[in-house]
């Protein structure tokens, strides 16, 4: 044994795994967000948009979109040696909402991705997580060419509770998305800690 060195190997850390949902309206960038940070090849369930879907899929503002998620997107990111996030992107169209309850089981928290050109598309996801008590953070995907609004203006338009964090992000940028993920994990852990404290008293 070399002097001053220990022969003991470092004990491997068993990471905590957390489930995070990525929700929002049709064409808001959920698949892009998951793909931007996933350290594995993302699982995608995309299908080509067809003429049959035009009456039910509102393409206003996303006319160039040619595919849509029909079940979920799945990715994984290691934030720290001891913390791994599993990301589940939800489908955006109303007709696939029956899948949300399945995807939401066991989720620590959620990201609601929003587009300022179609803010009304975020209401359903916000309402879903509020009703089920799932902590969430709103991330505004800053699309090129979209008008930028002050954070407080967007908060007011979405009628968010004061404790819900709202961030600006670029769903294509890994570091930007990581900031959002850290925010939602911290927010969810704080709320979970409060609930446990309340239950203990």
pLDDT tens digits, residue range 96-112? 667 889 889 999 999 99
- CB of 92 closer than 8 Å to CB of 30: yes
The most confident of 45-49, 104-108, 143-147, 197-201, by mean pLDDT: 104-108
What is the C-alpha to C-alpha distance for residues 10 and 93, in angstroms, rounded to an integer? 48
For the question of whether the overall pTM of this predicted structure is more than 0.75, the answer is yes
Residue 99 has a pLDDT of 81
Q: Does the domain at residues 16-200 carry the CATH identifier 3.40.50.10860?
A: no
Segments making up each domain of the chain, as ranges: 16-200
Mean pLDDT, residues 30-50 taken together: 80
- CB of 164 closer than 8 Å to CB of 61: no
What is the C-alpha to C-alpha distance for residues 165 and 198, in angstroms, rounded to an integer? 22
DSSP three-state, residue 156? helix
Question: Percent of the chain beyond pLDDT 90?
Answer: 60
The model's confidence at residue 26, banded by pLDDT at 50, 70 and 90, is confident
The model's confidence at residue 93, banded by pLDDT at 50, 70 and 90, is low
DSSP three-state, residue 103? helix
Length of the chain: 201
């Amino acid at each position: 044994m070399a002097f001053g060195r220990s022969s003991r190997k470092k004990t491997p850390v068993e990471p905590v795994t957390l489930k995070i949902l990525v929700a929002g309206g049709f064409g808001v960038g959920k698949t892009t967000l998951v793909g931007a940070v996933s350290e594995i090849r993302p699982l995608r369930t995309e299908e080509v948009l067809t003429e049959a879907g035009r009456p039910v899929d509102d393409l206003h503002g996303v006319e160039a979109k040619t595919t849509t998620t029909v079940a979920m997107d799945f990715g994984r990111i290691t934030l720290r040696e001891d913390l791994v996030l599993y990301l589940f992107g939800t489908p955006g169209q109303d007709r696939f909402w029956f899948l949300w309850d399945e995807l939401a089981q066991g989720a620590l928290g959620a990201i609601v991705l929003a587009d300022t050109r179609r803010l009304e598309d975020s209401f359903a996801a916000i309402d879903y997580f509020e009703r089920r008590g799932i902590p969430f953070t709103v991330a505004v995907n800053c699309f090129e060419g979209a008008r930028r609004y002050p954070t407080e203006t967007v908060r007011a338009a979405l009628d968010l509770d004061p404790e819900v964090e709202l961030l600006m992000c670029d769903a294509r940028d890994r570091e930007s998305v990581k900031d959002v993920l850290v925010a939602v994990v911290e927010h969810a852990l704080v709320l979970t800690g409060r609930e446990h404290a309340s239950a203990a008293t």
